[in-house]
Structure 1
Amino acid sequence: MCWFSMARLFMYVFNLALFLAGGATLGVGIWILNSTSEVTLGDLSFSENGAIVLIVAGSVACIMGFLGCCGAKKENSGILGLYFTLLLILVIMQVAVGIWAAVNFDSVGEAVDTSLDALDLTDTADAKTLNSISEQLGCCGINSTDDACALYTSKTTEGCACVNTNYACDDSCAAGPIYEQPCDVAVTNFITDNLRIIAGIGIAIGLAEILGLIFSCCMCQSIKEKNGYA
């Protein structure tokens, strides 16, 4: 019973925290999506794409947290079994994405280049995403082949320097911060500089998910034994 109590306590604490965090993330995502202008929180700014990511992540977290808490509260092996299955699928998907990334990309820089090259700057949401990146990391355009001056004057990316002598620029080009570093370099540098933190967060999430799998499985087995099913 000691193991059962420990597992139940973990399921309560972990999934309650997951549910609250998911609810907060979902709320922020909906708020950003319905906002008439780009939202800035601290040093981070969010566009429509970022809002959708927050909504999906928050919804998944809320569902998982609710199932975990409800299963532990009611000592229902069916709910805990569903929770275990969904969490296992989530872990498998994360591992699959990690393997896919390792196979398809030789470096962080290559992965960043592929992701940024997929942006369509004629699309408003993608243009806002690049704008957010450029403002936060102090960069201009996707890579060094972009016409920084054209991007600046068209307002596709804020803060670009008018360094292309073949493009006619007016005096407004000199106003505000001027960024000459391409964003693929800036994003790659940001990730590599913070790789330990990112890896630490990933490991912590992975360990919590593994504990969730173990404890939910233990609770299911104990409930079945308690009810005389095993």
Structure 2
Amino acid sequence: MGCATGIVKYLVFIANLLFALAGLALVIIGILIKFNVSDATRVLPSDFGLAPILCIIIGAIVFITAFLGCCGAVRESTCMLTTYAIILLTIFIVQVAIGVYAFLQIKDQNSFYSALKTNMEKTFDQMDRNPEANETMHVIERVLKCCGVTGPEDYQTPKVPLSCCRNIEVQCPSPNNDVNSDGCAIKLQGEIEKNSKIIGGVAIGIAVIEVLGAIVALCLASSIRNSYRRHTYA
């Protein structure tokens, strides 16, 4: 095996070792989200509740695929490397399809806002009898600096919760300049749309790496195959 092929072999191994660690991290993150902060997803459309599960599944697939790539590079197995490249290209195609679907869902702002508002209203209506719903709304109000679903008027009381106040150290009456006037539904929609661009950029970067990884794996498999042939017929 030539020097260049040897370098590529170890580059493939190192890259896939990093991929394996990234896949393991995705699995851990998905599990933590699923079991620790699942209540916070109650205000999101039902499709977003699948995010932790998808995170675990994708992480597991990435880990197994990277492990296959590592083994293929170390053992110089053309079969493993070719299978690894095919899986990477398949993941790339599925990833693009999911990305396009998610983009179209979020791009349809009226439908997305309507679904988000409906789910948040269900949580808001349960605040008096459900401590988890109560805590969820207050956390959202504090983090996003908003009040109610559409505004402070949703509470229909002389005073709003402390989480609606700009200065959380003091209870503020409503209406008042010290109350956050924006509704949480519109603020959450804005945050999701803003962060979706960042996630989209990261996804594109990962997709490019996947395609390059598949190409390098196929080239390495071809180089190993040619090396075996030369030694066989030498």
Smaller-chain TM-score range? 0.5 to 0.7
Counterpart of 2:210?
209
The 3 A distance-change label for structure 1 pair 5 and 181 is farther
Task: Give the partner amino acid of 2:21.
Answer: L
1:133 touches 1:183 (CA, 8 Å); kept in 2? yes
What are the equivalent positions in structure 2 for 1:50-61 lying under 5 Å apart?
A: 51-61=52-62
- Cα distance in 2 for partners of 1:3, 1:22 equals 28
Q: CA RMSD in A?
A: 4.1
What are the equivalent positions in structure 2 for 1:81-160 lying under 5 Å apart?
A: 81-100=82-101, 104=104, 107=107, 109-110=109-110, 112-113=112-113, 116=116, 119=119, 121=122, 135-139=142-146, 144=150
- Bigger Rg, which one: 2
- Cα distance in 1 for partners of 2:199, 2:33 equals 24
TM-score of the two chains, using structure 1 as the length reference: 0.64
What are the equivalent positions in structure 2 for 1:179-218 lying under 5 Å apart?
A: 179-190=180-191, 193=194, 197-218=198-219
**Aligned equivalent of 1:175, options 138, 141, 162:** 162
Compare the two structures and name the one with the higher helix fraction: 2
The 3 A distance-change label for structure 1 pair 59 and 135 is farther
1:4 touches 1:218 (CA, 8 Å); kept in 2? no
Q: CA deviation at 1:57?
A: 3.0
Counterpart of 1:226?
227
Q: CA deviation at 1:133?
A: 5.5
The 3 A distance-change label for structure 1 pair 36 and 112 is closer
- Cα distance in 2 for partners of 1:108, 1:6 equals 48
- Cα distance in 1 for partners of 2:60, 2:188 equals 28
Where structure 2 has 5 or more consecutive residues not aligned to the other structure, the ranges are 41-47, 166-179
Q: CA deviation at 1:211?
A: 1.0
Report how many aligned residue pairs link the two structures.
200
- Cα distance in 2 for partners of 1:184, 1:32 equals 21
Where structure 1 has 5 or more consecutive residues not aligned to the other structure, the ranges are 40-46, 149-160
Percent identity of equivalent pairs? 29
The 3 A distance-change label for structure 1 pair 226 and 110 is farther
The 3 A distance-change label for structure 1 pair 185 and 85 is same
The 3 A distance-change label for structure 1 pair 110 and 82 is farther
Counterpart of 1:25?
26
